[in-house]
Amino acid sequence: MGILQTAFADGTFGAFGEIQPPAATTFQSYATYYAEATGNFVQVVQVAVENSNPVNPVVFVEFSTPLSSGTVNVGIEQADEAQFVVVDLNFNTSQVECVHAVGVGTLEVTAGDVTAHDGLAFVSDVSGLEVFHPTNIYGQDVSGQLSWATCDPM
């Protein structure tokens, strides 16, 4: 696992929710490779830091592996190759409290071999990714399909 002192995601969700909180003084982003019985994946996390303390929201991007160069479908279905979520995290328990937003669409990836602990991947284009509140993804409420509670809309 490597830690970067910078953000990888930016933008807004809802009427005034910001992926990068204005009071944050720095960011920590890291990626972890997981080998699970249900499948392998790479999880990339972005945490804002204010006065040496983590603050919400937190961004999670999970890529199923093997990950290769090209267009990656992002969504909440098992068939999607990646998931993008903006959440509030309980920093004492490391548990997700609620989901602010989910990403739907595509990402363009330039990747090395990310099937093991080595390898490197870069997301080179996010113009095909849209962020929605789980109760209104193209007019559909998918909050019941998520593993976590849904945050109140902002």
Residue 151 in tokens:
């945050």
**Reported confidence tier of residue 8, pLDDT bands at 50, 70, 90:** confident
How many Å from the N-terminal Cα to the C-terminal Cα in the chain?
33
- Condensed to tens digits (0 to 9), the pLDDT of residues 23-77 reads 667 888 887 878 887 778 888 888 999 888 999 999 998 888 667 778 889 999 8
Q: Which pLDDT score is estimated for 2?
A: 59
In a domain, 90, yes or no: yes
In a domain, 13, yes or no: yes
Q: Rounded to 5, what percent of the chain is helix, strand, coil?
A: 0, 55, 45
Domain extent at residue 107: 2-145
- For the chain, how many structural domains are there in total? 1
Q: Which pLDDT score is estimated for 54?
A: 93
DSSP class per residue in 92-149: TTTEEEEEEEEEEEEEEEEE---SSS---EEEEE-TTEEEE-TT-BTTB--GGGSSSP
In a domain, 152, yes or no: no
In a domain, 153, yes or no: no
Q: Which pLDDT score is estimated for 7?
A: 73
In a domain, 33, yes or no: yes
Residue 21 in tokens:
């909180």
Q: Which pLDDT score is estimated for 20?
A: 73
In a domain, 151, yes or no: no
What are the two backbone dihedrals, phi and then psi, of residue 144, each rounded to the nearest 5 degrees?
-70, -15
In a domain, 150, yes or no: no
**Reported confidence tier of residue 122, pLDDT bands at 50, 70, 90:** low
Average confidence (pLDDT) over 114-134:
68
